[in-house]
A = this chain, B = another copy of it.
Amino acid sequence: MTFEGMWAELAPIGRSASSGGYNRQPWASAESELRAWFASAASARGLELETDAMGNQVAWWRPAGVVRDERTPASAERGSERHGPPRPGAILTGSHLDSVLEGGAYDGPLGVVSALAALDLMRSRGVVPTRPIGVSVFTEEEGSRFGLACLGSRLATGATSWSDARERRDRDGVALPDALAAAGLDVGALEDGGGLVDLSGVGCFVELHVEQGRDLVDRGAAVGVGSEIWPHGRYRFDFTGEANHAGTTRMEDRRDPMLTYAMTALAANKQARLSGQRATFGRLEVAPNGTNAVPSRVTAWLDARCSSEEVLTDLVAAIERQGTERADRDGTALAVTAESVSRSVAFDPALAARIAGIGDWPVIPTQAGHDAGILSAAGIPSAMLFVRNPTGVSHSPAESAETVDCLSGVEALADTLTELAR
């Protein structure tokens, strides 16, 4: 089946008829359907399907004479800070099928469908890889249900332990083990310390992804290679003031935290804009949230991502400083709590250079987290290929890519896998 044929099969799954947005949260019906679709696509290609108790899937292409466990000292390198050129061992490619709430069609599925299409293309060209190639689907990449992004790859690499993960609950209070069991997965195997895909024989990972920005538009390129993932922090800003009557309280007698928040949101935008970084207040809780009451409290979450950890620290400090100055004027208070800070991930430079050389593709950073970042941090040399996004929009029903660019992505991935598997 062609790329377009696979794409058409996926299009209706988990799509809201009213908004056009995708809701493919893990271990629920739409994602189960996607997992079944992947298993069937693997079977149709004669790929050997490996699944695990988290719902992670890997479909292996093992040409005759190529054994999977062509192990090397690679696994001993696991966790080292320095990455060399691609180690011997299997090549893994793929992405994820889950989505954010009301997400787009491309974030995740493009990498999975392109991987299958790339294998088809390689086979049609008569390529016979010298090592196994696996197409992977890692689960809960978006963290949309249990709040921790890349949960599937974190568990598979050991970045997160099962004993930590099992305590997580979704917004309805369902515990992760119960969600897995309800999806028919083998929680007992996880409890026994196993049940996860074995990545120890993987020599490198290549993830293709729709670009979530417009670098490639500006560069006039259909495909790019990832250099790094920016450091990323989530910070809770608690603005506290004094609840009061919205009608009778004179403006000058108020201690209104909404004003402090509003000024801080504008300051964050300005700071990020001036320095070429990213700062967003997209989530807010107001108390008591009544039309006729000056709020007592506004809690807002800052998402900040910067070109370096030092710049990130400085940016957040500058926003906090401006917020605190305004709080002094408003008679309110501001407390900032870092809820999570992810360090930067530099993809293996030799691997990126080798891949970029294949098609003279530009090498660009990304500000989004990906499974490739998790595998890279776990010591598996990893790389990313990006496909041009005309509007740059992502995490939205409006996310898109031209079919011609998607097909360029498939070809780039096929060329990359062919080169790496020589």
Contact = CB atoms under 8 A, between A and B. Distances in A.
A280 B214 contact: no
Nearest to A267: B262
A421 interface: no
Interface residues of A, number: 64
A247 B393 contact: no
A249 B398 CA distance: 13
Interface stretch (A44-52, A294-302, A350-358, A410-418): A294-302
Given A101-B288, A212-B245, A249-B212, A294 B269 contact: no
A296 B301 CA distance: 16
Interface in A104-145: none
Contacts of A284: 258, 284, 286, 289
A242 B273 contact: no
A287 to B, nearest CB: 9
Contacts of A279: 251
B280 A294 contact: yes
A281 to B, nearest CB: 6
A60 to B, nearest CB: 31
Contacts of A296: 396
A392 interface: yes
Contacts of A398: 242-243
How often does this chain occur in the complex, in copies?
A: 2
A212 B281 CA distance: 33
Interface string A227-244: 000101010000000111
A290 B286 contact: no
B303 A368 contact: no
Contacts of A303: 246-247, 291-292
A286 B283 contact: yes
Given A213-B250, A244-B392, A248-B368, 13 more contacts: A102-B243, A212-B245, A212-B249, A213-B248, A242-B398, A244-B394, A245-B395, A247-B369, A258-B282, A262-B262, A262-B265, A282-B286, A284-B286
Interface of A: 100-102, 211-214, 230, 232, 234, 242-253, 256, 258-259, 261-263, 265-266, 269, 272-273, 278-284, 286, 288-296, 301, 303, 305, 366-369, 392-398
